[in-house]
Amino acid sequence: DICIVPLRVTVNDAGRTALILRELQKKSGLGKKEFINKIIFLFSIVPYYKQDKIDTYKDELYKTFPGAQFFEQSIKKTVSFTRVSTNQQKSKDIKKVEDAF
């Protein structure tokens, strides 16, 4: 089993995620290495102007979770994500979101 952990490229999200995962690891009863092997991080809803910061956040997470795994690709932010399932949804929004994956 694996767990995909979505992350936004923000200091708060990376820090909060690290705290939550440390607590989850304790509650899981798994050793740190075994726990880390089940986690794969995915940077999602990344604005174009933060693409270059992904490596910085990876480095920070490696400090807390040495050997952490990351998806090579990130999911870029598009306005379509925020409109889906709202009264502002446009006809092509769902297709754009599906294409992002």
What pLDDT is recorded for position 24?
A: 92
Reading phi first (left if > 0) and then psi (alpha if -120 to 50, else beta), residue 27 is in: alpha
Query: What single-letter DSSP state applies at residue 75?
Result: P
What pLDDT is recorded for position 9?
A: 81
pLDDT string in tens for the chain (101-residue length): 888 888 888 878 878 888 999 999 999 999 999 999 999 998 877 777 888 888 888 888 888 888 889 988 876 766 556 677 777 777 777 777 777 66
What pLDDT is recorded for position 55?
A: 87
Distance, in Å, from the CA atom of 4 to the CA atom of 39, rounded to the nearest integer, reads 6
Segments forming the whole domain that contains residue 82: 3-100
What pLDDT is recorded for position 13?
A: 81
Three-class DSSP category at 23? helix
What pLDDT is recorded for position 30?
A: 92
Q: Cβ distance 43 to 54 under 8 Å? A: yes
Strands (DSSP E) found in 11-65: 39-43
- For residues 59-85, one letter each, b for 16 or more C-beta atoms within 10 angstroms of the residue's C-beta and e for the rest, the string is eebeeebeebebeeebbebeebeebee
CATH number at residue 96: 3.40.50.300
Total domains, the chain: 1
What pLDDT is recorded for position 28?
A: 92
